Structure 1
Amino acid sequence: MDDDVPTVPLVSIIYREHAKFLNDRLKDENLSFGLYPLLIKIYKHEGIIQEQLAQSFHLNESTITRNLKKLEDKGFIERIPDKRTKRIEITDNGRKIAQKVMDLDEMWDDKIKDIIGLEEYDNFLNTLKEISGGLL
């Protein structure tokens, strides 16, 4: 790797490799890489509403609506009417897939820890959080 590579291509490499890692292991689940974070968020915050998801991911509500429709069509979530909004609940199948993705994410993190070590991994994670927070 060249020494003069800017940060964005390096982040992109990590992102694409992570996508390949997950997609290779979840190809039979009929779920695209872009939907994994949404499914996990719903799993961890069952009953969350669409507006909260949009805020969490810094996406507009129409993008969230399209992605929720995909998850609902695949049987991973249900949208439950609640006054003027809809609560999003995860199905048993969605719960199973979310857990599988989280287990694979843990394997991915272990892979990174093997490359750079635990202390450097913790520093890396904290740095990524600091950069993300500073940019938002």
Structure 2
Amino acid sequence: MSKMTENNSKLHECACRNLRMTTRVITQYYDKALQPAGIKSAQYSLLNDISVKEEGISVNELAEHAMMDQTTVTRNIELLRRNGLVKVEIEEKDSRKKRITVSTDGKAVLAAALPLWKVAQAELEQTVGREEYENFLKTLSVLKKMK
């Protein structure tokens, strides 16, 4: 067996490759489900993360919470801001820092998206099975701690 074939023969066991492939499929699944609300799954997740803090959240806090780099968060926040879904305001105490809050329009989009997300979530759990799904979440939780 050649070295190339030997390396490729184990590729189907690669956690990174399998997770990336699965993530693409699941992202497309949720994006399609949320389409009637006019947002994608990444936007929905960020809006939810921001909405948890009434007083707003900083880019750093959001990046840490979402396990994303600050540049990616900043780019996504700018898209949400341009679409009128979030407000970005300079902090009074430190003008170098910004607070992000969900706008009135953003709250309306979240309200419209929630039932769509719930249906998609229920279908996904039903497809996998509740016990398997819970085990899957536990596994993902363990893997996230590798950071």
Specify if TM > 0.5: yes
In structure 2, distance between residues paired with 1:18 and 1:113:
12
RMSD: 2.4
In structure 2, distance between residues paired with 1:120 and 1:38:
26
- Number of corresponding residues: 132
In structure 2, distance between residues paired with 1:21 and 1:14:
10
Answering whether residue 129 of structure 2 is matched by residue 121 of structure 1, we say no
* CA contact 2:34–2:117 (8 Å) conserved in 1: no
Following superposition, the deviation at residue 53 of structure 1 comes to 0.9
**Structure 1 residues 11 and 60 mapped into 2: Cα distance closer, same or farther (>3 Å)?**
closer
Greater displacement, 122-131 / 30-39: 30-39
Residue equivalent to 2:71 = 62
**Structure 1 residues 122 and 108 mapped into 2: Cα distance closer, same or farther (>3 Å)?**
same
* CA contact 1:22–1:101 (8 Å) conserved in 2: no
Pairing of 1:80-95 with structure 2 (within 5 A): 80-82=89-91, 83-84=93-94, 85-95=97-107
Residue equivalent to 1:12 = 20
| Consecutive unaligned residues in structure 1, runs of 5 or more | none
Residue equivalent to 1:26 = 34
| Consecutive unaligned residues in structure 2, runs of 5 or more | 1-10
In structure 1, distance between residues paired with 2:108 and 2:125:
26
Spell out, residue by residue over 1:39-74, the C-alpha distance to the aligned partner (whole angstroms, 9 max, x if none): 221122231111101212333323322221111110
Greater displacement, 19-28 / 122-131: 19-28
Residue equivalent to 1:71 = 80
In structure 2, distance between residues paired with 1:107 and 1:15:
19
Higher Rg of the two aligned structures:
2
The DSSP-based 3-state class of the residue aligned with 2:87 is strand
Normalising by the residue count of structure 2, what TM-score does the alignment of the two structures yield?
0.73
Spell out, residue by residue over 1:9-55, the C-alpha distance to the aligned partner (whole angstroms, 9 max, x if none): 43234322222223223335554443332222112223111110121
**Structure 1 residues 116 and 109 mapped into 2: Cα distance closer, same or farther (>3 Å)?**
same
Answering whether residue 44 of structure 2 is matched by residue 36 of structure 1, we say yes
**Structure 1 residues 113 and 26 mapped into 2: Cα distance closer, same or farther (>3 Å)?**
closer
The DSSP-based 3-state class of the residue aligned with 1:48 is coil
The DSSP-based 3-state class of the residue aligned with 1:10 is helix
